Amino acid sequence: MTQEQKLSFYATPPHDCNYLPGQDATTLFADPRFPKDTRLYSALADCGFRRSGEHLYTPHCDNCSSCVPIRIPVQEFKPSRNQKRNIRQNQDLSFTSHPSEFRQEHFELFEKYLAQRHTGGGMDNPTQDSYLQFLTASWAETEFFEMRVRESKQLVGVAIADIMENAISAVYTYFDPEFSARSPGRFAVLAQIEEARKRELSWVYLGYWIKDCRKMSYKTEYQPMEYYRNNDWYRDP
């Protein structure tokens, strides 16, 4: 690799933390001008980075290490009793991969999901362009997994995932709030674990976990779980 090809990283100024009230946060971004591909993405994910749109980033706060990258070793994963119940409850759903392209049916469900579950969260009134810019990247191998009722073909949800060299990264999942009782978000994670196993991949990345953030507590129900601390992965949080 030549000097000109070396990847640089840039830290943002401190800004309000989205997860811990009253805290400042700093984010470290990989150079947005640097050419990216699945190989680079896989290497940075193994160091705790995550994708948002075209960007690869990781929390980089001076006085806080609460954001912990996590991943599931899929070959060792065994569903709990509640997770087995969720699988049975949703056995009438298909989980099918589609290219990462705009589909009106997906977009309308995304709007419905935001309107009922995430009002005021910064994604109100999305456009077709902002929708794709949020979920996809020109250099990433992204797939949209549809969850549909097999008999009626009704769209229940969409799980967006990036396929890396040895892992799947769960990017975002949205679903019809009318199916909330089925816990489609949980089903989407379980289905992605099974998808990774079928493809003989090693991990499913679930982004960041914060111990004191209630809305992230669901992530640790998938065991065993690996946590990235001090430049390595550990089973103990």
Domains, in order of start, for the chain: 73-205 (3.40.630.30)
pLDDT at 107 over 70: yes
pTM over cut 0.85: yes
Of the candidates 182, 155, 197, the one whose C-alpha atom is nearest the C-alpha of residue 91 is 182
Q: Position 195: which residue type? A: E
pLDDT per position as a tens digit, 69-94: 999 999 999 999 999 999 999 999 99
- For residues 138 and 174, is the Cβ–Cβ distance under 8 A? no
Residue-level pLDDT at 118: 64
**Number of CB atoms found within 10 A of residue 108's CB:** 11
117-126, 136-145, 214-223: range with lowest mean pLDDT:
117-126
CA distances from 179 to 98, 104, 174, 176, 185 (A): 21, 20, 11, 6, 10
The mean per-residue pLDDT over the stretch 113-118 comes to 86
Tokens of 71: 């991943």
**Number of CB atoms found within 10 A of residue 35's CB:** 9
* pLDDT band with cut points at 50, 70 and 90 for residue 122: low
pLDDT at 130 over 60: yes
Percent of the chain whose pLDDT exceeds 90: 89
Computed over every residue of the chain, the mean pLDDT equals: 94
Residue-level pLDDT at 120: 58
The mean per-residue pLDDT over the stretch 5-32 comes to 94
Residue-level pLDDT at 5: 75
DSSP 42-82: HHHHTTT-EEETTEEEEE--SS----EEEEEETTT----HH
Residue-level pLDDT at 236: 81
pLDDT at 19 over 60: yes
pLDDT per position as a tens digit, 173-229: 999 999 999 999 999 999 999 999 999 999 999 999 999 898 899 999 999 999 999
Q: Rounded to the nearest 5°, which phi and psi values hold at 61?
A: -90, 140
The mean per-residue pLDDT over the stretch 45-50 comes to 98
pLDDT at 152 over 90: yes
The mean per-residue pLDDT over the stretch 14-40 comes to 95
